[in-house]
C-alpha cells in the first residue's frame, strides 16, 4: 500500500564531495515515462505519495478553465506560475481580477514582497508595502476568482475545497494525474492534493500528449510565456525558454517536466533545494548519461 514519502522510498541521487571526502548526500525519487505512460526509468519508489504543491498548478489551471475562467494565453501562464512578483507579473494578475470587476482585496493568498530582488528593492525604495499581487501564487488565485465570477459562485469562499471551482480543479487533477489520496492546505491557503510521484509524471505526460482543448491551451501558454511561469533568469523559466520543455517546480524539491518529443519526468527530493540544482542534475543523469 502506498504511503507518504520517507527516506525508505528514496535513493541517493547526488553526492557532494570536498577534497575527496563526502560533504553531503541528497536523497529523493524520480520517475520517467514514455509517451504511452510506461515507466522507462525509476529511482526510488514511484508510488510514494507526495504533495506536488505548485507542480499541480497546470492542472488546477485546467480546472479554472473548465469552471468558466476566460483568460488570455499570458494570463493562463500566470495561473500556472510560481512567479517572482515583478511589476509585470503583478500587472498581469491585476488584469485577471479587473476583467471580472474584482481587485487585490478579493485575493485570499498572503501578501508578500516579490521573490525577485530587483523588484523587491524597487518596491521598498518606492515606499510600498507587501501586497497580494506580488505573492507567487496570485495568478492561480486570480484564475480561481475569475472562474467563480463566471459561474456566478461566491468569491468569498473560493478556497473552500467544496467550492465548485475547487471541485473542478480536483476533477482535473484526478482525470489527468490519478487518484487523490488526501487534500491538505497549501501555503497560499488553497487545497493541496496528495498524489503519487508516478501520478504526477502521468499528468505531465498528458500535458504534452493530451488532445483536450484546455490541456492544449495550458501547454501552449507555458511554452509561449515562460517568463510568466517563474521569472527571467530563473532555472524554471530558462528550461522552458531554451528547450521548449514544460517544466514546473513545486515546494520541497518537486519538479515536473514534459516534452512533446521526449519523456515526462517527475522527481522529488528529501532535502530542500530552492535553486533546483540537485533535481536538475538528476534530470541530466537520466537523459544524458
In this prediction, residue 282 has a pLDDT band, given cuts at 50, 70 and 90, of very low
113-153 tens-digit pLDDT: 999 999 999 999 999 999 999 999 999 999 999 999 999 99
> Among the ranges 152-166, 238-252, 259-273, which has the highest mean pLDDT value?
152-166
- Quick check: 174 pLDDT over 80? yes
Residue 100 near residue 152, CB atoms below 8 Å: no
Is residue 89 a contact partner of residue 78, using CB atoms and an 8 Å limit? yes
Count of Cβ atoms closer than 10 Å to residue 145 Cβ: 24
Higher-scoring residue by pLDDT: 211, 144: 144
How many percent of the chain have pLDDT more than 90? 75
Position 276 scores a pLDDT of 43
pLDDT value at residue 261: 59
| Percentage of the chain exceeding pLDDT 70 | 90
Evaluate the CA torsion angle 265, 271, 275, 277 in order and state its sign: negative
pLDDT band at 275 (very low <50, low <70, confident <90, very high): very low
**Res 54: pLDDT:** 97
Residue 35 has a pLDDT of: 87
pTM: 0.91
Q: Strand order of the sheet with strand 191-196?
A: 49-50, 191-196, 182-185
Nearest residue to 231 (alpha-carbon basis) of 109, 122, 134, 112:
134
What residues does 192 pair with on adjacent strands? 184
- Is residue 90 within 8 Å of 133, Cβ to Cβ? yes
Q: Identify the residue with better confidence: 98 or 283.
A: 98
Cell numbers at 195, concatenated: 498524489
Domains parsed from the chain with CATH numbers: 7-287 (3.40.710)
| 47-81: pLDDT as tens digits | 999 999 999 999 999 999 999 999 999 999 999 99
Question: What CA–CA distance (Å, rounded) separates 58 from 55?
Answer: 7
Q: What integer pLDDT is reported at residue 278 of this predicted model? A: 42
Look at phi and psi of residue 276 and say left if phi exceeds 0, alpha if psi is from -120 to 50, else beta: left
Q: Answer whether residue 188 shows pLDDT above 90.
A: yes
Amino acid at each position: 500500500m502506498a504511503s507518504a514519502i520517507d527516506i525508505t522510498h528514496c535513493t541517493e541521487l547526488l553526492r557532494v564531495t570536498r577534497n575527496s571526502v563526502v560533504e553531503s548526500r541528497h536523497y529523493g525519487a524520480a520517475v520517467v515515462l514514455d509517451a504511452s505512460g510506461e515507466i522507462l526509468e525509476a529511482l526510488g519508489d514511484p508510488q510514494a505519495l507526495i504533495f506536488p504543491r505548485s507542480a499541480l498548478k497546470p492542472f488546477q489551471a485546467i480546472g479554472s478553465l473548465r469552471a468558466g475562467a476566460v483568460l488570455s494565453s499570458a494570463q493562463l501562464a500566470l495561473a500556472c506560475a510560481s512567479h517572482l512578483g515583478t511589476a509585470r507579473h503583478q500587472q498581469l494578475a491585476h488584469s485577471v481580477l479587473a476583467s471580472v470587476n474584482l481587485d487585490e482585496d478579493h485575493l485570499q493568498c498572503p501578501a508578500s514582497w516579490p521573490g525577485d530582488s530587483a523588484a523587491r528593492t524597487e518596491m521598498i525604495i518606492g515606499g510600498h508595502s507587501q501586497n497580494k499581487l506580488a505573492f507567487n501564487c496570485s495568478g492561480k488565485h486570480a484564475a480561481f476568482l475569475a472562474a467563480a465570477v463566471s459561474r456566478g459562485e461566491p468569491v468569498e469562499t473560493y478556497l473552500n475545497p467544496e467550492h465548485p471551482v475547487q471541485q473542478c480543479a480536483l476533477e482535473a487533477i484526478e482525470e489527468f494525474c490519478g487518484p487523490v489520496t488526501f487534500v491538505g492546505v497549501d501555503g497560499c491557503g488553497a487545497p493541496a492534493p496528495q498524489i503519487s510521484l508516478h501520478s504526477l509524471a502521468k499528468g505531465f505526460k498528458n500535458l504534452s500528449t493530451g488532445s483536450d482543448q484546455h490541456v492544449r491551451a495550458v501547454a501552449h501558454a507555458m511554452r509561449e510565456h515562460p517568463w510568466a511561469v517563474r521569472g527571467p533568469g530563473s532555472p524554471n523559466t530558462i528550461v522552458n525558454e531554451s528547450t521548449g520543455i514544460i517544466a514546473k517546480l513545486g515546494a520541497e524539491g518537486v519538479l515536473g517536466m514534459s516534452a512533446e518529443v521526449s519523456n515526462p519526468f517527475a522527481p522529488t527530493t528529501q532535502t530542500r533545494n530552492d535553486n533546483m540544482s540537485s533535481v536538475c542534475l538528476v534530470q541530466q543523469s537520466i537523459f544524458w548519461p
